[in-house]
Amino acid sequence: MKLVEPEITVIARPSLDLREVAAYLREIGGEQWLARFDRGTLDDPPNDAETLAEIAGRMCYRSWEPGLNPNVTRVRTDQAAYLRNVLSSAHGSVLEHANFTFLLKNVSRVLTHELVRHRAGTAVSQESLRFLRLEELPFWFPDWAKDDPELMERTGKALQDLEELQLWMARHFGLDREDVPFAEKKHRTSFMRRFAPEGVGTSLVWTANVRTLRHVIESRTAPEAEEEIRLVFHRVGELMRAEAPALFGDYEVTDGSWTPAWRKV
């Protein structure tokens, strides 16, 4: 048994091509919106996730500047104020254009089985135990469990027995022999994973758009949520507030629970 802690990092984020945005704005007469970059009234460099959400929103109403749409006589010029209005008016569709990709390491299959329920707006690539042979069982224990000596002794022994079973089966099936074809190794490894506990640590790449992230952070940090997924998505919330504060700065965090000012965006 190897004691592990969940690790979460952002490995990909939106990247804007402002040259293409500028070409579109010149065509429709909205160059003044882009001029804000030159005047320093937007971040330099801009926050691409926040700016992409703003571009998507302004596209809907052609609200780059007054007059482009005769029905729009005034526009918000401050990006943070514009995005607050997007959130407060629940114009959540524009948030779906901004995607972030996370590497979740040392999370259990208890967590991943719950995470796959959030299918809309996500992509998942998870370590495959059909191909990956287990030689040790990485395992996360919450602090309250670590403080229980008898519990740790008994569960540690159970995990050690399961590890030894994995190693025995690999020897029994001769998986390290050079004459064993890969298809046979895959077949046997698939059988062996049936004896790995659901709490075994795994890794996955998880991508979600901002609208989905707002929902998952709220629901999976709620007090009634499973404790490991609460821990992980508290960390995801912290990462996202640093990545895109105008899109995640409305949350109130109390005892690890993230509650947005504007729900169902």
Write the pLDDT tens digit of every residue in 192-244. Answer: 999 999 999 999 999 999 999 999 999 999 999 999 999 999 999 999 999 99
246: number of Cβ within 10 Å = 21
Task: Supply the range of the domain harboring residue 187.
Answer: 130-195
Q: How far apart are CA 265 and CA 252, in angstroms?
A: 16
28 and 78 fall within a common domain: yes
Q: Is residue 223 domain-resident? A: no
pLDDT at residue 43 tops 70:
no
Highest mean pLDDT: which range of 15-24, 30-39, 96-105: 96-105
Q: Where is pLDDT greater, at 11 or 78?
A: 11
Residues 42 and 87 in one domain: yes
**CA torsion, points 158, 160, 163, 168, in degrees to nearest 10?**
-100
Q: Are 18 and 92 in the same domain?
A: yes
- Mark which of 96, 120, 155 sits at the end of a domain: 96
Question: Taking a C-beta distance cutoff of 8 angstroms, is the pair 3, 139 a contact?
Answer: yes
Which tens digits make up the pLDDT trace of 89-137?
Answer: 999 999 999 999 999 999 999 999 999 999 999 999 999 999 999 999 9
Over range 183-194, report the average pLDDT.
Answer: 96
Q: What is the pLDDT of residue 38?
A: 59
Question: 162 and 90 share a domain?
Answer: no
Beta strands (DSSP E) in 77-229 are 99-108, 122-126, 138-139, 201-209
Q: Which residue has the higher pLDDT, 245 or 34?
A: 245
Residue 67, token pair as written in the block: 């007059």
**pLDDT of 42:** 53
pLDDT computed for residue 41 by the predictor: 52
Average pLDDT over residues 239-262: 97
pLDDT at 40 over 60: no
Q: Extract the runs of DSSP E, i.e. beta strands, from the chain.
A: 2-3, 7-12, 99-108, 122-126, 138-139, 201-209, 251-254, 257-260
Sheet with 99-108, edge to edge strand ranges:
7-12, 99-108, 201-209, 122-126
What DSSP state is assigned to residue 174?
T
Same-domain check for residues 92 and 25: yes
pLDDT at 264: 87
Residue 204 counted as domain residue: no
- Count Cα atoms within 13 angstroms, Cβ side, for 50: 24
* pTM (two decimals): 0.92
Q: Tell me how far apart the alpha carbons of residues 254 and 45 are, in angstroms, rounded to a whole number.
A: 32
Q: Which of 77, 96, 115 is the last residue of a domain?
A: 96
Query: What is the pLDDT averaged over residues 33-54?
Result: 76
Tell me the average pLDDT of the chain.
93
Q: What is the chain's length?
A: 265
The number of folded domains in the chain is: 2
Residues serving a catalytic function are 220
Q: Is the pLDDT of residue 12 over 70?
A: yes
How many angstroms separate the CA atoms of 44 and 72, rounded? 28
State the pLDDT at residue 147.
Answer: 98
Two tokens, residue 208 = 């979600």
Contact between residue 225 and residue 258 where contact means Cβ atoms under 8 Å apart: no
SS3 137: coil
Give domain status of residue 242, yes or no. no
Quick one: 201 exposed, middle or buried, by C-beta within 10 A (0-12, 13-18, 19+)? buried
| Confidence (pLDDT) at 33 | 87
How confident is the model at residue 8, as a pLDDT? 98
Do the domain assignments include residue 177? yes
Q: Reply yes or no on whether the pLDDT at 260 is more than 90.
A: yes
Biggest CA-to-CA distance, the chain: 77
Measured CA to CA, the distance from residue 125 to residue 66 in angstroms comes to 45
Confidence of residue 29 (pLDDT cuts 50, 70, 90): confident
State what percent of residues in the chain have pLDDT above 90: 82
